[in-house]
């Protein structure tokens, strides 16, 4: 079928220079409804987006890492309420910022250990520096080199132990490096490097042959260019090349840091294979009872997703793998039970068990995840599909 409203919404974002290009797929359990490419993978060279182009997944890596952890949970290699310090000793005796603290030195010992459940739901008390760039905690993360690509995950844990938690574990929600900690947990309990575990237990079963922490040289020309716009006025037209963000040579050369929270490059077909497996019930990755941990909100009552400086996103919770819509939110294009997330460069996905519907969208706008193309896409998608 034709998705005229979807194409028009995405083309408007491209024409308005919010995005350079996109590829997207829409599918149900048994049927691919659409696969489409619009715009350019490389604007300067006038290379159109193709279905085989590779895109920086950034935080969509988290779904892969969470699925890996849930596989290990099925095997009884840990329990959700185990303290993470039991497996990663560096994180066994963390401190917490005192309420109202204006300095990262103003801390108290954490009353509650960080548990694996907290990591998977982003309630551990960790953070990302870029979400609070002017806060003292951001400077502390940079000083400790928490996300330094020259550190491996074991070294990252030592760095992370040097900075305090924002709050007592389990008491609030805050988007964070917690999934990188989950990546290290996978390494510890399996004895395998994270990339090796992914290849054997996630990518191979799903036939994902184009997903990597660094792009092989023979596939380098397929990596889409990265662009950035105005950070102060993100809707202002104008894009410039940003291939070396977040660091020189990112995703083109092998680095010690295997970022379970944001390190993969992938293709439309590869990531669609992952999302489609979850839409279909989890096989071959997860058992049905484990799949429920992907689809059901795991946050306490009245705790919602909330980013620094923004109001709570009421009605939006978090499972052990991604955000979950607890209620219909038409303006945002969400229906109850919809599981979703996005990445820093604008890649997006969702699956909706209630509708037997899913979509994956690839693009390359650094710091573009919050732009309005995605809710516009979701609204247009349901317009094209018509009444349920």
Task: Say yes or no: 149 and 176 in one domain.
Answer: yes
72-91 burial code (b ≥16 CB/10 A, e <16): bbeeebbebeebbbbbbebb
Task: Say yes or no: 371 and 229 in one domain.
Answer: yes
Q: H or E segment at 325?
A: strand 323-325
- Max Cα–Cα distance, the chain, nearest Å: 59
Q: Does a structural domain hold residue 108?
A: yes
- Return d(Cα 47, Cα 39) in angstroms, integer: 9
Task: Say yes or no: 296 and 371 in one domain.
Answer: yes
pLDDT of residue 129: 85
294-326 burial code (b ≥16 CB/10 A, e <16): bbebbbeeebbbbeeeeeebebbbbbbbbbbbb
Structural domain that includes position 90 = 68-190
Coil, helix or strand at residue 178: helix
User: Two tokens at 370?
Assistant: 């919050």
> Where does a domain end: 125, 160, 190?
190
**Which residue ranges in the chain fall short of pLDDT 70?**
388
* CATH number of the CATH domain containing 262: 3.40.710.10
Task: Say yes or no: 96 and 45 in one domain.
Answer: no
Task: Say yes or no: 227 and 347 in one domain.
Answer: yes
Task: Say yes or no: 54 and 82 in one domain.
Answer: no
Coil, helix or strand at residue 5: helix
User: What is residue 74's DSSP assignment?
Assistant: H
User: Two tokens at 69?
Assistant: 């952890």
Model pTM? 0.97
pLDDT of residue 322: 98
Task: Say yes or no: 271 and 338 in one domain.
Answer: yes
- Return d(Cα 345, Cα 362) in angstroms, integer: 9
Task: Say yes or no: 92 and 179 in one domain.
Answer: yes
Q: H or E segment at 240?
A: strand 240-241
pLDDT digits (tens, 9 = 90+) for 245-287: 999 999 999 999 999 999 999 999 999 999 999 999 999 999 9
Cβ-contact 285, 205 below 8 angstroms: yes
pLDDT of residue 130: 84
Q: H or E segment at 317?
A: strand 316-318
Q: What's the structural domain count of the chain?
A: 2
Number of residues that make up the chain:
388
pLDDT of residue 150: 98
> Where does a domain end: 120, 155, 190?
190
Task: Say yes or no: 169 and 263 in one domain.
Answer: no
User: What is residue 334's DSSP assignment?
Assistant: B
pLDDT of residue 351: 98
pLDDT of residue 388: 66
pLDDT of residue 43: 98
């Amino acid at each position: 079928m034709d998705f005229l409203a979807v194409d028009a919404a995405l083309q408007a974002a491209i024409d308005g220079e919010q995005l350079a290009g996109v590829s997207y797929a829409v599918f149900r359990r048994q049927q691919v409804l659409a696969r489409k490419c619009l715009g350019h993978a490389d604007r300067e060279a006038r290379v159109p987006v193709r279905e085989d182009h590779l895109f920086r997944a950034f935080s969509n890596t988290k779904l892969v890492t969470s699925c890996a952890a849930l596989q290990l949970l099925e095997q009884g290699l840990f329990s959700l309420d185990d303290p993470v310090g039991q497996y990663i000793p560096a994180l066994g005796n963390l401190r917490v910022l005192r309420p109202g603290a204006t300095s990262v030195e103003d801390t108290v010992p954490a009353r509650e250990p960080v548990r694996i459940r907290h990591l998977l739901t982003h309630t551990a008390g960790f953070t990302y520096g870029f979400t609070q760039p002017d806060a003292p905690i951001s400077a502390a993360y940079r000083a400790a080199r928490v996300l330094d690509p020259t550190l491996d995950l074991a070294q990252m844990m030592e760095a992370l132990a040097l900075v305090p938690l924002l709050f007592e574990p389990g008491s609030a929600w805050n988007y964070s490096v917690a999934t990188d900690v989950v990546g290290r947990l996978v390494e510890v309990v399996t004895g395998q490097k994270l990339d090796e575990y992914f290849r054997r237990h996630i990518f191979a079963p799903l036939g994902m042959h184009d997903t990597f922490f660094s792009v092989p040289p023979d596939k380098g020309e397929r990596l889409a260019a990265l662009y950035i716009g105005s950070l102060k006025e993100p809707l202002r037209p104008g894009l410039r090349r940003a291939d070396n963000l977040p660091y020189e040579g990112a995703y083109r050369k092998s680095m010690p840091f295997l970022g379970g929270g944001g390190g993969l490059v992938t293709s439309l077909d590869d990531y669609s294979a992952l999302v489609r497996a979850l839409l279909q019930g989890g096989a071959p990755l997860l058992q049905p009872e484990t799949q429920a941990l992907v689809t059901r909100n795991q946050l306490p009552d009245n705790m919602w997703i909330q980013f620094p400086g923004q109001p709570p996103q009421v009605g939006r919770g978090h499972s052990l793998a991604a955000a979950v819509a607890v209620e219909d939110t038409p303006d945002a294009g969400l229906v109850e039970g919809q599981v979703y997330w996005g990445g820093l460069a604008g890649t997006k996905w969702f699956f909706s068990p209630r509708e037997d519907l899913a979509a994956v969208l690839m693009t390359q706008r650094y710091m573009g995840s919050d732009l309005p193309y995605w809710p516009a896409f979701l609204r247009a998608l349901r317009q094209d599909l018509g009444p349920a």
